[in-house]
Amino acid sequence: MLEIGNTIVSLDILEKQFLCDLLKCKGACCVEGDSGAPVTAEEAIAIEEAYPEVLPYLSQVHQNEIKTQGFAVIDFEGDLVTPLVENRCCVYTYEEKGILKCGFEKAFLDGKIKFRKPVSCHLFPIRITKYKRFDAVNYQQIDICKPGRQCGKSEKLPLYVFLKEPLIRQYGEEWYEQLNYAGENYLSKK
């Protein structure tokens, strides 16, 4: 484990290699799991505010679910999460050439909104668990991401480098510089 500020970072973040391979996984992280994507209260507000620009990307079924469930829901563990369609697929996804993608990210990339997507989605497969005194930053290695591990290994791309942008979004530039410094030194000694 590595301590940076108020975070405890798993060494897996430095050691593991990763690069999403959407052509192979088809956006499975937007479907798999037992709950929606975790969101903060602030993100739930941002989702509601940006929704009119995201609406055109979503199917009628997904739009109807949002009307029924709302923009965010409390899951079985008491966490605020994105709603699901048929208890499976995130309501904010759309399909493009057989790949599930995020409507918020599409609207963001099209320059229509400033909110990219929930940071928990942006950071995946890194998961953050918040405790009173620190955040635990861990790599969640799951089967659906096997293509991402293979692609990352072939590109020799460390997970923390692949997820530089969302890690900076979550913890800031200075924090990431410390992580990068630790990663470069740690990997050079392996």
Q: Where are the domains of the chain?
A: 1-18+125-190, 26-116
Each residue of 124-163: pLDDT tens digit?
Answer: 999 999 999 999 999 999 999 999 999 999 999 999 999 9
- As a whole number of angstroms, the distance between CA 111 and CA 156 comes to 32
Q: Is the pLDDT of residue 171 over 80?
A: yes
The band of 34, judged by pLDDT with boundaries at 50, 70 and 90, is: confident
Average pLDDT over residues 5-9: 96
Each residue of 70-92: pLDDT tens digit?
Answer: 999 999 999 999 999 998 899 99
Unique residue bearing structure tokens 């399909």: 95
For residue 190, the one-letter residue type is K
- As a whole number of angstroms, the distance between CA 125 and CA 151 comes to 14
Q: Which helix (H) or strand (E) holds 168?
A: helix 164-171
Would you state the pLDDT for residue 189?
Answer: 76
The pLDDT > 70 percentage for the chain reads 99
Average pLDDT over residues 1-13: 95
Q: Measuring CA to CA, which residue among 158, 181, 176 is closest to residue 19?
A: 158
Quote the pTM value. 0.91
Query: Which DSSP string do the residues of 9-76 spell out, in sequence order?
Result: E-THHHH-B----HHHHTTGGGT-SSS--B--HHHHHHHHHHHHHHGGGS-HHHHHHHHHH-S-EE-T
Torsions phi, psi for 180 (to 5 deg): -60, -45
Rounded to whole angstroms, the maximal C-alpha distance in the chain is 54
Residue 5, sorted as left (phi over 0), alpha (psi -120 to 50) or beta, turns out to be: left
For residue 166, the one-letter residue type is P
The band of 33, judged by pLDDT with boundaries at 50, 70 and 90, is: confident
The band of 187, judged by pLDDT with boundaries at 50, 70 and 90, is: confident
Would you state the pLDDT for residue 20?
Answer: 95
Q: Measuring CA to CA, which residue among 77, 39, 41, 83 is closest to residue 64?
A: 83
Q: Which letter does DSSP use for residue 143 in this model?
A: G
Unique residue bearing structure tokens 């997904």: 62
